[in-house]
Copies of this chain bind each other. A is one copy, B any other.
Amino acid sequence: MKFALLINTGPYQHQAADTAYQFARAALAEGHTIRRIFFYQDGVYNASRLSVPPQDDRHIVRRWSALAAEHRIELLLCSASALRRGILDKEGARVNAIDTDNLAPGFRLAGLAQLIDAGIEADRLLSFAD
């Protein structure tokens, strides 16, 4: 079965990003497909490559990047949510005359239409939120 996931909360502060990750791992292990994970609202904070959690804790951002690379999953961020909250790709930094970007590998900015598109294309759209 094809799943799409929607994540609406930031890492660490809420468990939702952890639950989504554990769900994704279990779904992939059972032979299901995940095409796209969409990060909306505070969910965009999951994509900052500047995140440095304590060494004995999980690294949520890197975990997403690794999962995406391993299983060819699109990690998309709502660009309006991301810009507002300070998550920028190179293009966003350039356009807004900011000296740096902070998007982690494997993530890409997108429009909300691509969330709708994910919902249409997938057999199930699951959201993980506050």
Contacts and interface: CB of A to CB of B under 8 A. Distances in A.
Please state the number of chain copies in the assembly.
2
B61 A86 contact: yes
Contact of A84 (B52, B87, B101): B52
A23 interface: no
Contact of A93 (B50, B54, B92, B101): B50
Contacts of A102: 50, 86, 100, 102
B12 A85 contact: yes
A102 B53 CA distance: 16
Interface of A: 10-13, 41-42, 45, 48-54, 57, 61, 80, 83-88, 92-93, 96, 98, 100-102
